[in-house]
Amino acid sequence: MEQIRKLPIGIQSFEVLRTGGYLYVDKTALMYRLASTDSPYFLSRPRRFGKSLLVSAFEAYFEGRKELFEGLAIERLETKWEKYPVLHLDLNAKNYDSIESLIAILNKHLEVWEALYGDEKRDRDPEERFEYVIKRACEQSGKRVVVLIDEYDKPLLANLLDERLSDQLRRALKAFYGVLKSAGDYLRFVFITGVTKFSQVSVFSDLNQLSDISMWTDYSELCGITKEELLQVFQPEIAALAKRQRMSFDEAVAEMTQRYDGYRFAVDSVGMFNPFSVLNTLQSGQFGDYWFQTGTPTFLADLLTKSDYDLRRLIDGARMAAIDFAEYKADKRNPIPLIYQSGYLTILGYQSKRRMYTLGFPNDEVRYGFLKFLSPYYSTVPDDSTASYIDRFLDELEAGDVESFLNSLKVFFAGIPYELSDDTERHYQAIFYVVLTLMGEFVQAEVRSAHGRADAVVKTDKYLYLFEFKLNDTAEAALRQIDDKEYLLPYTLDGRQLVKVGVSFDKEKRNIGRYLIG
């Protein structure tokens, strides 16, 4: 009987992973490189990307637990295996609906540390107790202290748009984390993780020696799985997946790459696979949207709901300087920093002369999941009906029934939640961009590029549709533009039946008006 290997889905304890016989993608060489210095480090990565397991591995390493690293790269690199006092603060496992809830979780950790190193300051503020524990741990052990902080920003993200509570939480965390500077002489190593970087300026402003390695090429592979690692560690599981899906091995890898690869955390780094989706796919034997189904963070939904950002920039790829997406701020006028840092966008390219980045969706799982998530904010169609509408659109276009497609599209457009303004055309176009991109999961669908083709091209097995939309002009003008600009010319040898569709929007009804099919 074939032995089933254990995949570490949801495992955040390095000890449990290693003693439980789970598969492990070895990141310990990079860990050793970091641990060989005394600098405090910060790493931003999306949720479910292995940050907690990484922190747990650092904890085991600095506790000198050599047996847990048997057979790993660090076993060959480390010769001393010294034991240090480790203070591990995990802020991930609690809802923070008040300042008291934050103080309670800090007190919980402090009480554990004070039981080991002394509680003479137990009646003082958390930051005083923290500093005292660090000094006492150093004095008692004769070793400088290691501080590991996982998900430092969870309290702030849970209350992103509550300015009053956010300010209280920020001031409390700043005081607590500020100890890491005043107690610097007692510290051997500091490693801090989080999803976002927007609050670093205010929360870590006192810790000016903190090295943010989130976009460093040397550490871009610290979390996630490279294609080389995927093939090296999970070959039997990929083979089983391919067999179950009636694919070749290479076809299964290509499908996984299309769905789960593409995260780039530095300009010249290799693509990284989402580990949560990879492990769930291999475990279940089915391709699915596993990372996205774990839930879009509430803070991101709240921010986007209040944002008037042009969605088309996300679909086509947004170009911007690093300061516009990697700075430590959350602004509803520019939600890109949080969208990027939360893992919904990644670095697709870099123009070195102008120092401009191109950001876009890393893979199909994120692209289609994100747009399905956003569609209710651009139409009154309920979230759970979006897939049904896309299915209907596809049926109608595959049958050559353009009129039914446009009538269905009218329903999707109905009740646009925006007042008429100079931006009305942009909102119509954004909705159509969402629809076309979601259809692109199943047929070839593309929206207009800088090269001047029609607003949209959709290819089914039998038909090729060219759409041109007009807000302040007629359907006749739309069809005439298709002919004048020869949009059909590149497709004359395609073999499908060519259908051109000119559509005008009715500004008063805020919906599709007249249309012509040619």
Q: What's the pLDDT tens digit per position in 310-349?
A: 666 777 778 888 777 766 555 656 778 878 888 889 999 8
- Lowest average pLDDT, out of 68-82, 203-217, 378-392, goes to 378-392
Give the model confidence (pLDDT) of 101-159 as tens digits. 999 999 999 999 999 999 999 999 999 999 999 999 999 999 999 999 999 988 988 88
Please tell me which residue, 407 or 33, carries the higher pLDDT value: 33
Specify the pLDDT at position 422. 43
Specify the pLDDT at position 421. 39
- Residue 50: closest CA among 256, 266, 366, 278: 278
Domain limits, the chain: 14-219, 227-293, 298-364, 379-517
Residue matched to tokens 């994100």: 370
Is the pLDDT at 64 greater than 90, yes or no?
yes
Q: Output b/e per residue, 324-356; b: 16+ Cβ within 10 A.
A: bbbbbbbebebbbbbbbbbbbbbbbeeeeeeee
Specify the pLDDT at position 1. 36
3-state class (DSSP) for residue 510: coil
Specify the pLDDT at position 192. 96
In angstroms, the CA 220 to CA 345 distance is: 15
- Lowest average pLDDT, out of 93-102, 249-258, 412-421, goes to 412-421
In angstroms, the CA 386 to CA 439 distance is: 11
Q: Is 224 left (phi over 0), alpha (psi -120 to 50) or beta?
A: left
Report the predicted TM-score, pTM, of the whole model to 2 decimal places: 0.85
Contacts 24+ apart (CB under 8 A), 310-315: 310/426, 310/430, 311/374, 311/378, 311/430, 311/433, 311/434, 312/426, 312/429, 312/430, 312/433, 312/447, 314/339, 314/345, 314/360, 314/361, 314/370, 315/361, 315/371, 315/433, 315/434, 315/437, 315/447
Is the pLDDT at 86 greater than 90, yes or no?
yes
Is the pLDDT at 400 greater than 50, yes or no?
yes
Is the pLDDT at 449 greater than 60, yes or no?
no
Specify the pLDDT at position 201. 52
Q: How confident is the model at residue 430 (pLDDT cuts 50, 70, 90)?
A: low
> Dihedral sign, CA of 351, 352, 357, 363?
positive
Contact between residue 394 and residue 463 where contact means Cβ atoms under 8 Å apart: no
Is the pLDDT at 414 greater than 90, yes or no?
no
CA distances in angstroms from 221 to 28, 137, 200, 241, 275, listed in the order given: 11, 33, 22, 25, 12
Tell me the residue ranges of DSSP E strands in 309-459: 318-321, 346-351, 356-360, 444-447, 456-459
Q: Tell me the percentage of the chain whose pLDDT exceeds 90.
A: 56
Is the pLDDT at 383 greater than 60, yes or no?
no
Length of the chain: 518
- Residue 79: closest CA among 89, 92, 60, 64: 64
- Residue 396: closest CA among 517, 279, 266, 228: 517
CATH number for the region 14-219 comes to 3.40.50.300
Contacts 24+ apart (CB under 8 A), 435-442: 435/390, 435/393, 435/409, 437/315, 437/367, 437/368, 437/371, 438/368, 438/371, 438/372, 438/375, 438/386, 438/390, 439/390, 439/393, 439/394, 439/397, 441/364, 441/368, 442/390, 442/394
3-state helix, strand, coil in the chain (%, to 5): 45, 15, 40
Contact between residue 14 and residue 150 where contact means Cβ atoms under 8 Å apart: no
In angstroms, the CA 263 to CA 265 distance is: 6
Q: In what order do the strands lie in the sheet with 187-194?
A: 86-90, 145-150, 187-194, 40-44, 211-212
CA angle at 383 for the pair 379 and 389, rounded to the nearest 5°: 75
Give the model confidence (pLDDT) of 215-274 as tens digits. 999 999 999 999 999 999 999 999 999 999 999 999 999 999 999 999 999 988 899 999
Residue matched to tokens 């609906």: 97
Domain 379-517, classified CATH 3.40.1350, yes or no: yes
Specify the pLDDT at position 473. 87
Average pLDDT, whole number, for the chain?
86
Residue 84: other Cβ atoms inside 10 A: 20
Tokens of 297: 């963070």
